[in-house]
Structure 1
Amino acid sequence: MSNQLPVINLMGPTASGKTALACELYERGDVELISVDSALVYQDMDIGTAKPNKAEQQQYPHHLIDLITPLQVYSAAEFVEDACNLVEQIHARGKMPVLVGGTMLYFKALLEGLSSNLPSADYAVRAEIEAKGESEGWQAVYEELKTVDPLAGEKFKVSDKQRIIRALEVYKLTGQPITKLQAEQPKNVAYRYSFYNYALLPDRVELHQRIEHRLKNMWKIGFLNEVENLIEKYDLNDNLPSARSVGYRQALDYLKNSDRSLKSKQEMEDKALYATRQLAKRQYTWLRSLQESHQFKTYLTIKQAQEDLRNLYG
């Protein structure tokens, strides 16, 4: 009999309804919820992240929410360490850990481990790379990457800005291509867990409608005011990882750089909607990639998932 600790992973793109499913499982009383969301770790970033409000968090507590300020950084490696510690603690309390969220990099790191000895992010180096992209164009940055790391140049497109930045950052910090370091370094696989993976993958048209409805509600309940308060409290700027979160980037640009006319506001809202739909598209791609290596059960509708998970965990 296996002595691996069972862990339920509940994944899905933004606005797919996964949090509601997790809360339904929590109602049973023998589970604890762990957030797998790189935006929910930030304090005071509530509306734009669709963070459960205080009453909801009291009713359905989530671990790994409100960990740091928007000025701080939280890595995938830190997530894996925190999540593994929580899994152990939750099982020690006789409960089942349910990890729920849409940050697929975190799920991938948990399922497959991380390459060791890659350098941590250096935001001075990143700022230097981004400044070159702004002044000389991203094609020039991409050409620099192809010179120092031809393999990465083959794998990435010029539009893969974050991946290009990370690859150049690693090269500038180590003097070696990231592809070489990744090939040489073993993975740290968490053998002590048995993962049960579930994904909510609704129809794209339905999901796009849900995303549009969510964003309209965010503007209505004061998302712009939230971003203004973040600018005032933290001097939030677009060099911070927190400010790159979908919605915040567009709102920040509008508040700092536009004439704040109705036309500019509508353009900002349209950009935020497009960016959120693109995020969902990337989440679908990540999930399909994970499904190639790991067993999954997927659901097209929330109702289907509710019925199945009730039977599974009933």
Structure 2
Amino acid sequence: MIGRVEPLPVAENKPPLLVLIGPTAVGKTKASISIAQKWNAEILSGDSMQVYREMDIGTAKIRPDEMGGIPHHLIDIVNPDETFSTADFQRKARETIEEIASRGKLPFVVGGTGLYIESLIYGYEFSEGGADEAFRLAQQQYLAEQGEQALHDRLRAIDPPSADRLHPNDHRRVIRALEVAHLTGIPLSEHLARQTKESPYRLCLIGLSMERTELYRRIEQRVDQMIAEGFAEEVRLLLDKGYARELPSMLGLGYKEMAAHLAGGLTLEEASDLIKRNTRRFAKRQLSWFRHMTDIQWVETGEGKNFSKQMDEIDAIIAGKLVLKANESINDIQ
């Protein structure tokens, strides 16, 4: 297995970074704990929703009793009414990686937010033209008058790749993509395509994949479990604390639909069906994003797959890419 992986030369003197990606519900959490325990790692969340405090059930946030003694970072770091951008994630992740490495531990990013992951592992620069508050307010007014689909269609007309990547209810990022094109004359997708794909890290990028039918079944089971665990009550408490439905965090997958249910616009069954449908679509967008990341080593998971053998395959990839031994301090290889 190791023979098919080309290791990066240690002489490059880049700090090692392990990354595990994959669509929602594919099994990243379970795999990440086993990997971290074996490879002397600490985990950084690469999920754009798990940064928010008090948003636990709807984000499938790992519980303390599931962490297996592994430190987790970039979870519960901002309130639901605070802004948190891709650039914020990149900055905090870089700082955390340095802290983890200083302890001789392997930094290990786990998540499914493609732009977050790429901004970190390829060192994207965020200077796409500044800001135009008047333009932004005009787009917000258009959204209020015409609706999110009309705003999303406006983006699709000038930047189809960004429209494919962004869900219509991700108003903040849709407006930002429109703003970038307005300010620079170049679509955001072209800005991203021009970014250097040279990583500042000795990178090991592993993806978990699963047969589509099984993945969708797992998504539906997860939504049912979230509702059984009290997802509606979680959203009710957030609304009662004054977190408005229009906040970017409250427009996140599942939260928007459940808030509509609590406002009387949807039955619980209708909200559940919408969350399942939108999560399936989200998983498709994740997979579409990951397909253009050529550095990924894919590992098939799911029913009928031996978990131990999957871990053996992952171990071989890590050993080959990072030139590292299990439980070894990264200080020994730098």
Give the TM interval when normalised to the shorter protein.
0.7 to 0.9
Asked if the contact 2:49/2:252 (under 8 Å) is kept, the reply is yes
Aligned residue pairs, count:
300
Which residue matches 2:70?
60
Match of 2:273 in 1: 270
Contact kept? 2:180, 2:187, Cα under 8 Å: no
Q: Which amino acid aligns with 2:69?
A: Q
In terms of mean alpha carbon deviation, does 49-58 or 223-232 score higher?
49-58
8 Å CA contact 2:181, 2:187 repeated in 1: no
TM-score, with normalisation over the residues of structure 1?
Answer: 0.83
What is the CA-CA distance between 1:121 and the residue it aligns to? Answer: 7.6
Q: What is the 5 A alignment of 1:234-245?
A: 235-245=242-252
2:177 paired with 1:167: yes
**Residue 221 (1) aligns with residue 229 (2):** yes
Question: Counterpart of 2:6?
Answer: none
- Could you say which residue in structure 2 is the equivalent of 1:71? 81
In structure 2, what residue type is equivalent to 1:230? L
Q: Partner of 1:300 in structure 2?
A: 300
Residue in 1 that maps onto 2:329: none
| Mapped partners of 1:68, 1:124: distance in 2 | 27
Name the amino acid aligned to 1:251: M
Shifted more, 296-305 versus 180-189: the winner is: 180-189
Structure 2 unmatched runs, 5+? 1-10, 320-325, 327-334
How does the TM-score come out when normalised to structure 2?
0.78
- Given the superposition, is the C-alpha separation of residues 136 and 298 from structure 1 closer, same or farther in structure 2, using an over 3 Å criterion? same
Structure 1 residues 17 and 88, CA gap change in structure 2 (3 angstroms): same
Q: Is the 8 A contact 2:51 2:76 kept in 1?
A: yes
Q: Which residue pairs with 2:119 in the alignment?
A: 109
Q: Distance in 1 between matches of 2:193 and 2:300?
A: 37
- Measured after TM superposition, the shift of residue 251 of structure 1 is 0.3
**CA distance in 1: counterparts of 2:55 and 2:152, whole angstroms:** 32
Task: Give me the identity figure in percent.
Answer: 33
In the aligned structure 2, how far is the partner of 1:34 from the partner of 1:285? 23
Q: Output the CA distance in 2 between the equivalents of 1:33 and 1:180.
A: 30
Shift of 1:239: 2.1
The C-alpha deviation readout for 1:66-123, integer Å capped at 9, x for no partner, is 0000001111111111111222222221111111011111111123333432367889
SS, match of residue 56 in structure 2: coil
| TM-aligned CA distance change 1:2 to 1:124, over 3 Å | same
Query: Contact 1:116 / 1:187 at 8 angstroms: preserved in 2?
Result: no
Secondary structure, counterpart of 2:20 in structure 1: strand
Within a 5 Å distance, the mapping from 1:21-170 to structure 2 comes to 21-28=31-38, 30-57=40-67, 59-118=69-128, 126=136, 128-136=138-146, 141=151, 152=159, 156=163, 161=168, 162=170, 164-170=174-180
C-alpha change, 1:124 and 1:266, in structure 2 (3 Å) is farther
C-alpha distance in structure 2 between counterparts of 1:46 and 1:283, whole Å: 21
Whether the 8 Å CA contact 2:177–2:188 is kept in 1: the answer is no
Change (3 A) 1:153 1:48: closer
